[in-house]
Amino acid sequence: MTQEPIAAQLSPYQVDVKKGETYKWCRCGRSKNQPFCDESHEGTGITPLEFVAAADETIILCGCKETGDAPYCDGTHNIL
């Protein structure tokens, strides 16, 4: 049975990514290596969201896990 995501924190994470590298955003909220997956989702039925960075840049990833634009923060945390 799939469990619900939990908020890692009620604010986003600012991270530097490298063009062409693959990242796994933690969708379940249980990782100890936020905002990235550390496999703690095992048994929850939730899987991480993989994405490839389009450029060397700083991006804002969702920490509350309620965003409508995963893996990016879309401001939803402001109304939780």
Taking the C-alpha atoms of residue 26 and residue 63, their distance in angstroms, rounded to an integer, is 9
| Min CB(51)–ligand FES separation in Å | 13
Q: Is 40 in the site for ligand FES (CB under 6 A)?
A: yes
Residue from 17, 23, 59, 67 in contact with ligand FES (CB under 6 A):
67
Binding residues for ligand FES, total number by CB under 6 A: 24
Cβ 24 vs Cβ 17: under 8 Å: no
Taking the C-alpha atoms of residue 78 and residue 67, their distance in angstroms, rounded to an integer, is 10
The H or E element spanning position 58 is: strand 57-61
In the chain, the amino acid numbered 63 is G
Candidate ranges 15-23, 51-59, 70-78; the one touching ligand FES (CB under 6 A) = 70-78
Chain residues that interact with ligand FES, rule: CB under 6 A: 11-12, 26-28, 30-31, 37-41, 46, 48, 62-64, 66-67, 73-77
